[in-house]
Amino acid sequence: MAYELTKKLKSVDMYVPVEGSCKVRLDANESCYNIMDRLGEDILDEIKNTELNRYPDPSAERVTRAFADFYGVPASMCTAGNGSDELISLILGAFLEKGDNVLTLTPDFSMYAFYGYMSELKVKTLQKEDNLRVNVAKVIDYCNNNDIKAVIFSNPCNPTSLGVVKEDIIKLLKNVFCLVIVDEAYMDFWGESVLDRVTEFDNLIVLRTCSKNMGLAALRLGFAMASPSITTALKAIKSPYNTSTLDQAAAYAALKNKPLITEYTAEIVRSRKALQEALATLSSDFGQIERVYDSVTNFVFFKSSKSAEICRELEKNSIAVRKIGGYIRVTAGTAEENEIFLSALKEILAGME
């Protein structure tokens, strides 16, 4: 008798990143800087001192303390995870019961709804405003009138590149009765974090990643900051050895070099501003770019009814960006990468006139 997949597995579509081997990769919101160029020896020294025959430190104590010191938060309120994805899956799967309502916003990171679905939650979706901004008053009202047990969203948002100011996040925390999970993966490029409020709100979980401004996407290391009770529970439900010794060692070496990470972050912000300004100029010259959004992340988001054609033509030029419906998301690259992209895009748009 053949084994049959469960109903929920039958309806799951695999997450598919941009495929191929494009020379210019501006599709995944990665750092355009390889930290090994500057810290290679430090990282290798840390790795050489690891014992590969031993299981990893289950508490990831050393790298967690380095992370806490980097952001000025108590290490006792931090939990290391195998990327933010593992932490999102754990939180939605364990802090909510089967059939509970979890609220996501749209557009936003698609994996929130995916992990909610896989945890057999009732995933509710609240549409953002026409300008893609979050109306916090509507979120509060929806949470309190629809028995929402948790709300999860990215701030700043992937993919829109827009952010909700700290004051509004605090207003949300004060006026709902549910768990509030704020994914701050891109907050290092802005300045409206609520990381310093985790000691004040017992319904707040803040997620951070080492993948973006730190340029450590290959490591898969993320952290959750929350109240002592939530942190204790998270550490109890996670896999005992969820972050590898090599990941812990490499991230520790990077986190101990805060000036370099700060330098890279500032360079990425400058790159994004230049990219956004150039796209705004193209928008005024060519009608195919209908709107360029005011980014506070390491990428730029713009609207185009020709998004499919543009992405297809860029790929022919060995340039990868991310198509999201009638929008395109472009990661800020090096000055050279930005120039290659902009030159190709200008030529493509001119050909569409």
CATH 3.90.1150.10 domain position(s) in the chain: 17-34+260-352
Expressed in angstroms, the distance from the first to the final Cα of the chain is: 60
CA 67 to chain centre: 17
- The per-residue pLDDT for 176 is 97
- The per-residue pLDDT for 19 is 66
Residue among 208, 145, 144 nearest 182 (CA): 208
- What is the value of pTM for the model shown? 0.95
- The per-residue pLDDT for 6 is 86
- The per-residue pLDDT for 352 is 86
Arch. (CATH architecture) of 17-34+260-352: Alpha-Beta Complex (3.90)
CATH 3.40.640.10 domain position(s) in the chain: 39-257
- The per-residue pLDDT for 58 is 96
CATH C-level class of 39-257 = alpha beta
- CA 239 to each of CA 30, 59, 79, 344, 353: distance values in angstroms, whole numbers, following the listed order: 27, 10, 12, 46, 55
Q: Are 263 and 44 in contact (CB under 8 A)?
A: no
Residues of the chain with pLDDT under 70: 17-20
- The per-residue pLDDT for 18 is 64
Amino acid at 42: D
Across the chain, mean pLDDT equals 95
